[in-house]
Amino acid sequence: MAAPATPLAPNARAVRNVAFVEGVRTPFGKAGDKGIYAGTRADDLVVKVIRELLRRHPELPPERIDDVAIAATTQTGDQGLTIGRTAALLAGLPKSVPGFAIDRMCAGAMTAVTSVAGGIGFGAYDIAIAGGVEHMGRHPMGEGVDPNPRIVADKLVDPTALVMGQTAENVHDRYPEITKARTDAYAAQSQERYADAVKAGKIGPELVPVATRHAELGWGLATEDEPPRPGTTVEQLATLKTPFRPHGRVTAGNAAGLNDGATGAILADEATARELGLPIGMRLVGYAFAGVEPEVMGIGPVPATEKVLARTGLSISDIGLFEINEAFAVQVLAFLDHFGIDAADPRVNPWGGAIACGHPLASSGVRLMTQLSRQFAERPDVRYGITTMCIGIGMGGTVIWENPAYEGGK
């Protein structure tokens, strides 16, 4: 092979290990006038998580942060104006720290992480903050958008592709063995596992208390998630209406709700993290995004996971923990059925999921990562875990992580 025409710059770096240092999030709220964040700005939620990350890590000089990537699905109002930059300024980071905004719908925060991770691995960054926010009470998904009429007129997608609940019904059609009874049973399990995790103190340490203000109730303090319904039974779920289709299978009980909340995480080059004394919660192994038919967007995690497994040389049997976003129970079950994993497998969402705690769209990817990192610390027998989610308009995303506390075993 001929030598390159231009030699590498003297300070060019080899690919480096990317560490997930720590993630935090606000409690998740219910969207709407009665939700805990009805009177709270979206950008202020992001400010809270950035400040909390810095408070928890005084060993990190703020000027060492190379970038701030914040995702939002609906980038308007208090979720617009290049929110990664504006939130960084509002949080008190030095003006020398840049920032940017990302939109990949539900996988916004996941993409924020993978984007800055690529920069860290390449050597463009040493340390970055990545996260996401969604205030669905102020900005419902699709607010102000103007879809090109050719999308439907030219039959690029089925019209149901633009309504997420209808895409979940389409997944039911494609996989008739995934019955409503199965999705209701999974939803009840999610509520139960989440409630058990809260009681055991598994969920809570990552939450950032947020001062709230309501026009009627006055000032308050959000310290826990608002959406969960502990004690939910399959019998109760069976009585709920199916709003997306008469005699359908998708209900408010076996799907995530409309929620408000924000997440954030510190990512770093592993050597830099050790230099500064930052903890290493996880090590990035690989990631992949994949496209599917938009009208069955819920199956997106399947090809995304197959893609990243192939690229990393791992198999599904190497994965000891799964954090799967629960936009709809049917899409989780489609993933599990594909890989031959039982819905009650203790490796899958051991602390419950979005059906219980909520899914503020672009923020959820970092919630999955934060929980996986905390689970790794308790499970030195587990080496690899994944965070995966379906994405609107027909996509899926999966990230594989390695446990730095691994001592042998699975």
Sign of CA dihedral 289, 364, 66, 77: positive
Active-site residue, from 135, 139, 172, 359: 359
Q: State the Cα–Cα distance between residues 290 and 307, nearest whole angstrom.
A: 8
46 φ, ψ to 5°?
-65, -40
Q: Exposure of 313 by Cβ count < 10 A (0-12 exposed, 13-18 middle, 19+ buried)?
A: exposed
In this structure, what DSSP letter does residue 8 have?
Answer: P
Active-site residue, from 106, 135, 139, 172: 106
At 268, which amino acid appears?
Answer: A
* Contact assessment for residue 350 and residue 320, using Cβ atoms and an 8 Å cutoff: no
- The set of residues, in sequence order, having a beta carbon less than 8 Å from that of 58 and lying 6+ positions away, is none
* Contact assessment for residue 281 and residue 406, using Cβ atoms and an 8 Å cutoff: no
Tokens representing 121 are: 């691995």
Active-site residue, from 135, 172, 357, 390: 390
Of the chain, the end-to-end C-alpha distance in Å amounts to: 41
- Which string of DSSP letters, residue by residue, matches 172-227? HHH-TTS-HHHHHHHHHHHHHHHHHHHHTTSSSTTB--EEEEETTTEEEEE-S-SS
* 357 carries an active-site annotation: no
Q: State the Cα–Cα distance between residues 17 and 117, nearest whole angstrom.
A: 9
* 106 carries an active-site annotation: yes
* 390 carries an active-site annotation: yes
Torsion of CA 332, 337, 343, 349, to 10 degrees: -40
Q: State the Cα–Cα distance between residues 71 and 261, nearest whole angstrom.
A: 12
Residues noted as catalytic: 106, 359, 390
